[in-house]
Amino acid sequence: MGKGKLFVFSGASGVGKSTVLFHVMDKRRDLQFSVSATTRAPRPGEQNGVNYYFVSKDEFRQMICEDAFVEYDAHMGNFYGTPRQQLEEKLEKGNVILDIEPVGAFAVKKARPDAILIFIAPPSWEELERRLRSRGDTGEKQIAMRLERASWELEQSKRYDYVVINEQVETCADEIIKIIAKEAE
Ligand code: 5GP
């Protein structure tokens, strides 16, 4: 597979991963974002082909049959997968960022041991809970499910190459940029 370096990011929901990655990509314009396919519905402002490829469950199953994914997983009742061809094409051009959960991250590491796994962690458990609740758009049951999942995800962070704490977005992004600069040399 291609000449670029692959950086895989994970982090519990509510940790602010998307905001951090936005800052990282704004400062390192050479990084290409791997757009995943998902069966979940688009959120307000999300664009097909930019944030995700939004597909039906049938289309997703078809892609599995065609071996079109490097990895895929079910998460909170929806499927998510990394399209193989797109990833290979992007890696031919340069460095790529994947934003996927731990099961997918470990599958990528197995397929491509030179991939660098970076986990974005909250400053504390209390802060993660506070951030999740302050989103306001999530019911108690959803929050409980997300917290349970977050606890498992935090446990998985031990298996990552780097763990970066998101206390403050800019500082966290700068730390990640340093890791990328070092690993992509
Ligand atoms: P969300 O629905 O909030 O955008 O994403 C939910 C979770 O799915 C996040 O942890 C995100 O990192 C993960 N995810 C997004 N794309 C993929 C993918 O292609 N594969 C896997 N395994 N997880 C993904």
CATH number, domain of 73, equals: 3.40.50.300
Closest-CA residue, ligand 1 atom 3, reads 13
pLDDT confidence of residue 70 = 96
86 lines ligand 1 (CB under 6 A): no
Number of domains the chain contains: 1
| Residue pLDDT tens, the chain, 185 long | 568 999 999 998 788 899 999 999 999 999 999 999 999 999 999 999 999 999 999 999 999 999 999 999 998 889 999 999 999 999 999 999 999 999 999 999 999 999 999 999 999 999 999 888 887 667 888 888 889 999 999 999 999 999 999 999 999 999 999 999 999 97
9 lines ligand 1 (CB under 6 A): no
pLDDT confidence of residue 103 = 96
**Helix 140-156 with 125-134: angle, nearest 10 deg:** 140
As a whole number of angstroms, the distance between CA 118 and CA 9 comes to 5
pLDDT confidence of residue 142 = 84
pLDDT confidence of residue 11 = 94
100 lines ligand 1 (CB under 6 A): yes
Range of the domain at 119: 6-183
| β partners of residue 163 | 119
d(CA 82, ligand 1 centre) in Å: 9
Ligand 1 atom having least distance to the Cα of 10? 12
Tell me the best of 19, 22, 36 to mutate to test the pocket of ligand 1, counting ligand atoms within 8 Å of each CB and taking the most.
Answer: 36
As a whole number of angstroms, the distance between CA 119 and CA 159 comes to 9
As a whole number of angstroms, the distance between CA 27 and CA 12 comes to 23
Q: Is residue 1 part of a domain?
A: no
pLDDT confidence of residue 1 = 54
pLDDT confidence of residue 185 = 78
State the pTM of this model. 0.94
In angstroms, the first-to-last Cα distance of the chain is 18
Q: Name the burial class of residue 30, with classes exposed (0-12), middle (13-18) and buried (19+) by CB atoms within 10 angstroms of its CB.
A: exposed
Closest-CA residue, ligand 1 atom 20, reads 81
